[in-house]
Structure 1
Amino acid sequence: MRERRDKEEHAAAFDRAADVYDAARPGYPAEAVAWLADGIRGPVLDLGAGTGKLTAELVALGLDVTAVDPSHQMLRVLGERLPGVEARVGSAERLPLGDASVDLVVAAQAWHWVDESLAVPEVARVLRPGGRLGLVWNDRDESVDWVRELGELMGAGEATFGEDDEPALSAPFGPVEKRTVRWVQELTLDGLLDLARSRSYFITKDPDAQAAVIASLRRLHAEHPELAGADRIELPYVTRCYRASREG
């Protein structure tokens, strides 16, 4: 019960940082998006759409996308970015769409927040037979020394909710395919600090703890030999993509 309350608190924290989330969080590499949406021509549901990072990529492919997120503030930013996209408040456990109404459901940086026992049948309900569920996460590449230290200083290990786990989708979904894409996000120091400020485990800290994290990141930037005060920072990512088709 305590773990569930913690998870809900962290998930709700994004309401307090929607603008900084939109400014700092990376998008998704074109190769990953193309693989998730390969062969899709019909309607798409972007589940946990947030401020529309993945939504924008799907719209750019010419797809008809409906964005769903539990956060009014995140959807406010999405509406400013993508005024032509229909946006609805909702969750994976209770989707505001009709039965068999979409060909693809995607969840970017979001599936680890859901209750899979409720979300799997609900996603299956809105998918047409043969439709697809696509899941994607951007992971910082912590095989790089300074990136690993960045995660430690931000406190990434203090609040993990299964985002690193391999998704195991039950019936009516078939086998899960996986693809990984390596890429780099270019940031300034301010962008790197905003990236930290956009994380739920930062937002939920008290102001003194937040200030300590920011000070430690400034020191990392100034002193680490791979950064050495650089104006432009290259932050490596490994994007994990998964897809599975609805059978029956």
Structure 2
Amino acid sequence: MDRAERSLHASSFGAAAGAYAEHRPDYAHDAVRWALEPAPGPRVLDLGAGTGRLTAALVGLGAEVVAVEPDPAMLAELRRALPAVRALAGSAEAIPLPDASVDAVLAGNAMHWFDMAVAGPEIARVLAPGGVLAGLWNLMDDGVEWVAGLARAGGSAAVGPRDTPAPWRSATADVHLPKTGEAPRFGSPERSLHPHGQRRTADSLVETLATRAGMLVMPQAEREAALGRIRAFLADRPETARGEFTLPLLTGVLRTRRL
């Protein structure tokens, strides 16, 4: 994806901020704990915080959270849902915080949108020495047969290149963290996968997939055709045809420490 296409996808969520807040899953609590495990203190920046899914998990774990989000509509949803949280307009490339002011920077389903050549030094600037940088992604567990079928039915717009475990490992191998040879330096990255799930119906799963960036930037006719294929697939599967079911997920975490 080139820079212009990435910018188009990254800026697509605001138009669907309400649906995003309603339908996107939270993050496995074990994954959030693992991400924070090496942090030297409780001050956490949720960067690219969206509507506050990860922010809420951090608050629940007792972190001192500040959220930063560039999209006004997403930021408004976050402030509505979590009025006690300090929530600021800003981006990974221009973080509105002082130097060494946080012990951890976490990003939920957002780090792949960062221009790390610019964001890396900014993240390093706001992190205290020994601080943690971690990205979290909710992945569909395509080791489950019907989930693999859903991925095929939906196509790459619905289930993208970071949305299942194997492509996620490849995509995060070396591109989403500051380079270790740069100063200030970051340590070697670590990865972890944590079981998770989201209760859905066929209709609400379609609504969830409709909030994916690839879907949001599609021409309307193509988008409706893709969602129609997903509806037909879910209607034909015994696991999903009637009532509620659990969508099998894994929360993948990529973390490193500022040296």
Q: TM-score, normalised by structure 1?
A: 0.92
Distance in 2 separating the partners of 1:137 and 1:53: 12
- Secondary structure of the 2:11 match is helix
Please give the residue correspondences for 1:200-219 in structure 2 after superposition, counting only pairs within 5 Å.
Answer: 200-219=213-232
Amino acid at match of 1:57: A
Alignment coverage as a number of residue pairs:
245
- Call closer, same or farther: CA 1:158–1:57 in 2, change over 3 Å: closer
Structure 1 residue 131 corresponds to structure 2 residue 95: no
Distance in 2 separating the partners of 1:223 and 1:65: 43
Distance in 2 separating the partners of 1:24 and 1:125: 34
Runs of 4+ in 1 over 4 A off after TM superposition: 157-163
Unaligned regions of 5+ residues in structure 2, if any?
Answer: none
Bigger mean CA deviation after superposition, 108-117 or 138-147: 138-147
- Secondary structure of the 2:2 match is helix
Contact 1:112–1:161 (8 Å) recurs in 2:
no
Bigger mean CA deviation after superposition, 230-239 or 14-23: 230-239
Amino acid at match of 1:179: S
- Call closer, same or farther: CA 1:114–1:177 in 2, change over 3 Å: same
Structure 1 residue 234 corresponds to structure 2 residue 246: yes
- Secondary structure of the 1:131 match is strand
Distance in 2 separating the partners of 1:245 and 1:187: 36
Contact 1:138–1:238 (8 Å) recurs in 2:
yes
Amino acid at match of 1:224: R
Structure 1 residue 145 corresponds to structure 2 residue 158: no
Return the match for 1:191 from 163, 182, 204: 204
Please give the residue correspondences for 1:159-170 in structure 2 after superposition, counting only pairs within 5 Å.
Answer: 164=168, 165-168=171-174, 169=177, 170=179
Structure 1 residue 246 corresponds to structure 2 residue 246: no
Amino acid at match of 1:53: R
* Deviations, residues 146-192 of structure 1 (Å, cap 9, x unaligned): 21232233332589576721243323111212211122211012210
Unaligned regions of 5+ residues in structure 1, if any?
Answer: none
Contact 1:155–1:202 (8 Å) recurs in 2:
no
Contact 1:68–1:88 (8 Å) recurs in 2:
yes
Distance in 1 separating the partners of 2:197 and 2:28: 9
Contact 2:158–2:209 (8 Å) recurs in 1:
no
- Secondary structure of the 2:68 match is strand
Contact 1:25–1:195 (8 Å) recurs in 2:
yes
Alpha-carbon shift at residue 223 of structure 1 (Å)? 1.0
Distance in 2 separating the partners of 1:115 and 1:16: 22
Contact 2:158–2:212 (8 Å) recurs in 1:
no
Bigger mean CA deviation after superposition, 125-134 or 153-162: 153-162
Return the match for 2:234 from 203, 212, 221: 221
Distance in 2 separating the partners of 1:231 and 1:105: 38
Bigger mean CA deviation after superposition, 32-41 or 56-65: 32-41
Q: TM-score, normalised by structure 2?
A: 0.88
- Call closer, same or farther: CA 1:180–1:26 in 2, change over 3 Å: same
- Secondary structure of the 1:19 match is helix
CA RMSD across the alignment: 1.9
Structure 1 residue 174 corresponds to structure 2 residue 187: yes
- Secondary structure of the 2:84 match is coil
Contact 2:27–2:196 (8 Å) recurs in 1:
no
Report sequence identity in percent: 39
2:47 is matched with which residue?
A: 47
Alpha-carbon shift at residue 214 of structure 1 (Å)? 2.4
